[in-house]
Structure 1
């Protein structure tokens, strides 16, 4: 590892402090460190735009939580650059490595003794007539949701060329296996092992109780046409970016060409993280 990029949760002073310590630790071992620009400015150092760093490094270190990692994963995009996520608070679903494990984990990475989990990402495009309006790459989910005062939305759903149903609901979640433990779980959807080749379509507060989440192959293309008039409806990507929709807009979601490579914790497996986060077995 000759070059490592470092990102941090800027609203967390501890993350900025740890970033400075990581920077010094890596440089003392002959590693060139590329700090995200705003983070570097907080440290009175020079940095690089976040979107340009992944193409210049062998590894990205993210200091913060799952939300910070998800944001960085979108910037990494198709590049086969592993992400080492360090959670500075409670254990995260994605940021498995704790602060106490940070430097031993970095030692293993520098010596090449680490493994990664390849997490599927989703590509989503919004079409309005023949025009492509916007395109998103997400690690967790795409969500179509109504505004606070809007009525139930009709969402006509197709899987490839087969009509699925018209959901009448407050919204719809299309989640990857990684995203199955996020909004999908809160909406009553299933937990999906991140190694499985599928994604899930989950209605939010459906009008018909028989409208249940459905898992589809990762080779499928899910197409949703939203049908409404005079309502506030929006699409959000990973809960972080999005835009308003218009009646008749079509949202297409499919598996992305490449996934996100997450450096695995050597001390915790996926099911231990799941047990801990969801407090299974506690009384």
Structure 2
């Protein structure tokens, strides 16, 4: 990274704990001659515009705040550091109480960079129009508000895998494998891998429960049948309507998200065990 000259802080401005943490962070920056800027995690354009010349973005919040910030960071390759203010916080490397000590470690070059695989989701509409979204966690095709299952055909690089009759189908990255895919019974992948995991949600009589595909494969989800359409969810942050016959094409993105990991951070598998113990079951 070189010399630490400019840090951005992304947060939920409605969260009192996040604002208090920001005050502490700004005080540290002032005392160390580091320029600081802050933004709401919802202000993607503002974060995107501030990325050039920024050495590090600290995300003050839970996984939702982190995912919104990650989408704004995009292809800029600015490292991100998650400071946990949520309950589970799989994306956070630092607890709030350790913020200043961690920033001291960054100045002393006591950290590593972990690259997290990202994917793109291209939605192909019935009229041939399309739109593409970047994802860190997952793409989900799911039923709408009515409790009626949908039929989703899944193809991997042109080969038919299955047509699921289910509440939905999740295509998750290794980072996202601890989220919705996991809750649907999918396996947890090592976050440093470059694969996707395809998992049906409440699949009916499905012999294929969860399948892993490599980064070179394109995964295509086509909505074959639904009573009132379906929803495409991007990282749980953006929901798009979907009609029968429309599809989502999921591909690897070449530029990863770069996560800063301070020396002494809890190893992933220990973090997984610790965080899982906080879940309400």
TM-score (norm 2): 0.91
Of residues 71, 79, 86, the one that matches 1:82 is: 79
Q: How many residues align?
A: 273
CA offsets per residue over residues 30-63 of structure 1, 9 Å max, x none? Answer: 11112116899xxxxxxx9223122331110111
Is the Cα contact below 8 Å between 2:170 and 2:181 reproduced in 1?
Answer: yes
Q: Are 2:27 and 1:24 equivalent residues in the alignment?
A: yes
User: What corresponds to 2:233 in structure 1?
Assistant: 236
SS at match of 1:80: coil
Q: Evaluate the alpha carbon distance shift between residue 54 and residue 203 of structure 1 in structure 2; reply closer, same or farther with a 3 A threshold.
A: same
Task: State the 4+ residue runs in structure 1 displaced beyond 4 angstroms.
Answer: 37-40
Deviation, 1:20, is: 1.7
Q: Which runs of 5+ in 2 are unaligned?
A: none
User: What corresponds to 2:269 in structure 1?
Assistant: 271
User: What corresponds to 1:33 in structure 2?
Assistant: 36
CA distance in 2, matches of 1:214, 1:38: 33
CA distance in 1, matches of 2:141, 2:225: 12
CA distance in 2, matches of 1:143, 1:75: 20
Matches within 5 A, 1:191-230: 191-230=188-227
Deviation, 1:11, is: 2.6
CA distance in 2, matches of 1:131, 1:110: 50
CA distance in 1, matches of 2:46, 2:232: 26
SS at match of 2:76: coil
Deviation, 1:172, is: 0.4
* Greater alpha carbon shift after TM alignment, 2-11 vs 48-57: 48-57
Q: RMSD over aligned Cα, in angstroms?
A: 2.0
Is the Cα contact below 8 Å between 1:16 and 1:39 reproduced in 2?
Answer: no
Deviation, 1:179, is: 0.4
CA offsets per residue over residues 105-144 of structure 1, 9 Å max, x none? Answer: 1011123221121110110010124634321111110011
CA distance in 2, matches of 1:79, 1:29: 25
Q: Evaluate the alpha carbon distance shift between residue 135 and residue 20 of structure 1 in structure 2; reply closer, same or farther with a 3 A threshold.
A: same
Of residues 48, 52, 55, the one that matches 2:52 is: 55
Q: Which runs of 5+ in 1 are unaligned?
A: 41-47
Is the Cα contact below 8 Å between 2:184 and 2:202 reproduced in 1?
Answer: yes
Q: Evaluate the alpha carbon distance shift between residue 107 and residue 188 of structure 1 in structure 2; reply closer, same or farther with a 3 A threshold.
A: same
Is the Cα contact below 8 Å between 1:167 and 1:203 reproduced in 2?
Answer: yes
Is the Cα contact below 8 Å between 1:10 and 1:39 reproduced in 2?
Answer: no
CA distance in 2, matches of 1:109, 1:38: 22
CA distance in 2, matches of 1:162, 1:260: 29
CA distance in 2, matches of 1:39, 1:105: 25
